[in-house]
Amino acid sequence: MAHNRINKKNKVVKRFRNRQSAQASIGQKDLDMALIDLVLKKLYNNGDKQTASLTDDVLKPNNINYTESGSDRLWDILISTGLVSPIVGFGRSGRLALTNDGYQLMNTFGSYSNFITQREKQAQAQTNPGVVAPQFILTKGKEQPEEEENKALQTGKGDQAAAAEQNFTK
């Protein structure tokens, strides 16, 4: 199973290297999700290091070439998720740390993509409940007042006779 996970990761990394084919086979949303996964896994799996540099520890080791504007865009996306926080300080700029929410997400779901698929399944289940309950439920043995009047009129009996017959049958 670990071998399959490594192969899957290698395939994603190869697609990143060859950006022309990656754009044809994978959309920007999927690309962002894979990069977020990569960053979160790097921070979560390397617990001995509290922080990681986006370019030096994540992008360069995986041979992912990003322009400066692309790196800035990815940085903004990562920060806006609330799963990582930027580290500010002398000589530590450009580093990320996993937040408590990020740690809980990785501990619970194992990856950001698993979290997204689980959230989509829940949203789909809420919009499509499957079984629709009827709006009006009639209980057995109780008739509606209109039905009682119609029965009395059909049998030709008056209100008193219909009421007496109803009491007798109960």
> Which class is domain 2-127?
mainly alpha
Residue 22: predicted pLDDT: 42
Given a cut of 60, whether residue 64 has pLDDT beyond it is: yes
Residue 62: predicted pLDDT: 86
The residue ranges of every structural domain in the chain are: 2-127, 134-170
- Please report which helix (H) or strand (E) contains residue 104, including its range: helix 100-109
C-alpha torsion sign, points 115, 116, 121, 126:
positive
Q: pLDDT tens digits, residue range 46-55?
A: 876 778 888 8
Tell me what the pLDDT averaged over the chain comes to: 75
Q: What is the CA radius of gyration of the chain?
A: 32
Q: pLDDT tens digits, residue range 100-144?
A: 999 899 999 998 989 999 998 888 888 776 655 555 655 665 555
C-alpha torsion sign, points 45, 49, 51, 56:
negative
CA-based end-to-end distance of the chain? 69
Q: Can you tell me which residue has the tokens 């998720």? A: 81
Cα–Cα distance for residue pair 77/9, rounded to 1 Å? 21
Helices and strands per DSSP (H, E), number in the chain: 8, 3
